[in-house]
Amino acid sequence: MIDAVRDGLLALWTAPYGRAALIFAAGFVVLKLAAALVARSLSRGSASHRSMVARKAVMYIGTVALFLGAAGAADIDLTTYLAAAGVLTVAVGFAAQTSIGNLIAGIFLIIDRPFEVGDHVQIEGKHGHIEAISLMSTHIRTFDNLLVRWPNEFVLRAMIINFARNPAWRLEIPFRIHHGADIARARQVVSERAKRSRHVLIDPPPVVWGIQIEEHGIGLELRAWIDREYFLEARTDLVAAIHDGLRAANIEIPYPQLTVSRGQRLWTDQEDAKADAEAVLGPAQHPAERLDAPALEPDAEL
Q: What is the pLDDT of residues 56-95, one digit of tens each?
A: 777 777 777 777 777 766 666 666 666 666 666 666 666 6
Query: Across all residues in the chain, what is the average pLDDT?
Result: 76
Q: Could you give the residue range(s) of every CATH 2.30.30.60 domain in the chain?
A: 114-162
CB 139 within 8 A of CB 154: no
Mean pLDDT of the region 149-169: 88
Residue with the bigger pLDDT between 7 and 203: it is: 203
Predicted local confidence at residue 32, as pLDDT: 79
Topology of the domain comprising 168-248:
Alpha-Beta Plaits (3.30.70)
Residue with the bigger pLDDT between 245 and 266: it is: 245
Using the predicted structure, report yes or no on whether residue 5 has a pLDDT greater than 70. no
Task: Measure the CA–CA gap between 196 and 208, rounded to whole angstroms.
Answer: 15
**What pLDDT band is residue 240 in, cutting at 50, 70 and 90?**
very high
Predicted local confidence at residue 187, as pLDDT: 92
Q: How far is CA 117 from the centre of its chain?
A: 16
Topology of the domain comprising 114-162:
SH3 type barrels. (2.30.30)
Measured CA to CA in angstroms, residue 103 lies from 96, 136, 184, 271 at distances of: 11, 5, 58, 83
- With a pLDDT cut of 70, the percent of the chain lying above it is 65
Which distant-in-sequence residues (6+ apart) come within 8 Å of 28 by Cβ? 63, 66
Q: How far is CA 115 from the centre of its chain?
A: 13
**What pLDDT band is residue 175 in, cutting at 50, 70 and 90?**
very high
Predicted local confidence at residue 208, as pLDDT: 92
Residue with the bigger pLDDT between 51 and 46: it is: 51
Pick the CATH number of 7-103 from 3.20.20.20, 1.10.287.1260, 3.30.565.10, 1.10.287.110: 1.10.287.1260
Is this model's pTM higher than 0.85 or not? Answer: no
**What pLDDT band is residue 173 in, cutting at 50, 70 and 90?**
very high
Q: Could you give the residue range(s) of every CATH 1.10.287.1260 domain in the chain?
A: 7-103
How do residues 14-31 score in pLDDT, each as one tens digit?
Answer: 666 666 777 777 777 877
Residue with the bigger pLDDT between 174 and 63: it is: 174
Q: Could you give the residue range(s) of every CATH 3.30.70.100 domain in the chain?
A: 168-248
